[in-house]
Amino acid sequence: MLEAVSSILKGIGSSAQTSDVTKVSPAVLQSAQSSAGFDGVMEQVAADAIGTLKAGEAASISSIQGKVSAQRVVEAVMSAEQTLQVAVAVRDKVVQAYQEVSRMAI
Amino acid sequence: MIDPLQASVQIASSGLEAQSDRLRIVSENLANANSTGRTPGADPYRRKTVTFASEMDRAAGVRVVKIKDLGLDRSPFRVEYEPNHPAAGQDGYVKLPNVNMLIEMADMRETNRSYEANLQVVKQTRSMVAMTIDLLKGA
């Protein structure tokens, strides 16, 4: 369970850095398919989030090149923003759970 | 079926694009309000009209709005007596575009209002999503 959590954290953390996205997402996707239950779901969510963020970035780049309309860019970037906010909120919750487990009196 | 809130952003975005296209047509009409023909008796610029249609977006399962087709206004041209104009006919009358500034201005204002309405949907959706995500952050 804790290994799965840390792998999610890795996935979410690297989604903020563009260069690492491609390196992490295939691994996250693969393990999401193999493991079931809560961990698997979380990993799947992380992988989806990375995909949405990449779409937002791609739209921003195309807008700089003048290929897509401003409305499309705003739509894609807003979607990425929402996804990132959810990812961050969920990460905070997971970290909180992790800390509570580590603080448990044995 | 995607998240309804995300779907509403998508629908509003299609509305924004449709209204942008409409504004493009209005600006074409306004810019060409005095474009006459080149040869004697030739027809001048004919006012363009725009119609919208609801379209099913299969991927998202929602109905978005699209420009249906660009039509031409069939109303008669204005004529003005100006015999020395290159486009003047045999009788000395020049045909001018059937563009009415007042109609174009009203159309432009309506476009603006419609754009604002769609933008408001986006804003509202965004704040609703943010409020929901904030539930996770509390406590």
Say which residue, A92 or A26, is predicted with more confidence: A92
Q: Where are the beta strands (DSSP E) in chain A?
A: none
Burial level of A79, CB count in 10 A (0-12/13-18/19+)?
buried
Lowest mean pLDDT among A6-20, A57-71, B92-106: A6-20
B126 to chain A, closest Cα gap in Å: 8
Q: Where are the domains of chain A?
A: 2-102
- Nearest chain A residue to B10 by CA distance is A75
| Model pLDDT, residue B115 | 96
What is the C-alpha to C-alpha distance for residues A5 and B108, in angstroms, rounded to an integer?
Answer: 54
B6 touches chain A (CB under 8 A): yes
Q: Flag if B9 and A79 touch (Cβ within 8 Å).
A: yes
Task: Collect all residues of chain A within an 8 Å Cβ-Cβ radius of residue B59.
Answer: none
Q: Which residue among B9, B16, B136 sits closest to A78, beta carbon to beta carbon? A: B9
Total number of domains in chain B: 1
Residues 6 or more apart in contact with residue B93 via CB below 8 angstroms: B79, B80, B81, B82
Mean pLDDT of B80-101: 90
Mean pLDDT of B110-114: 96
Task: Collect all residues of chain B within an 8 Å Cβ-Cβ radius of residue A89.
Answer: 133, 136-137
Q: Flag if A89 and B20 touch (Cβ within 8 Å).
A: no
On the question of pLDDT at A27 being above 70, the answer is: no
Burial level of B15, CB count in 10 A (0-12/13-18/19+)?
buried
| Model pLDDT, residue B58 | 85
Q: Residue B44 is part of which domain span?
A: 4-137
B17 touches chain A (CB under 8 A): yes
Task: Collect all residues of chain B within an 8 Å Cβ-Cβ radius of residue A69.
Answer: 17, 20
Mean pLDDT of B14-29: 94
Mean pLDDT of B13-40: 93
On the question of pLDDT at A1 being above 60, the answer is: no
What is the C-alpha to C-alpha distance for residues B129 and B123, in angstroms, rounded to an integer?
Answer: 10
Token duo for residue A11: 């996935």
Q: What are phi and psi of B76, to 5 degrees?
A: -65, 155
Mean pLDDT of B84-89: 88
| Model pLDDT, residue B51 | 93
* Amino acid letter, B41: G
Give chain A's largest Cα–Cα span.
60
| Res. B57 pLDDT band, cuts 50 70 90 | confident
pLDDT tens by residue, A32-69? 455 567 778 778 878 888 888 888 888 888 888 888 88
Mean pLDDT of B78-85: 90
Mean pLDDT of B73-99: 90
Q: Which residue among B13, B130, B136 sits closest to A71, beta carbon to beta carbon? A: B13
| Model pLDDT, residue A31 | 47
**CA atoms B50, B55, B57, B58: torsion sign:** negative
Q: Which residue among B122, B126, B136 sits closest to A89, beta carbon to beta carbon? A: B136
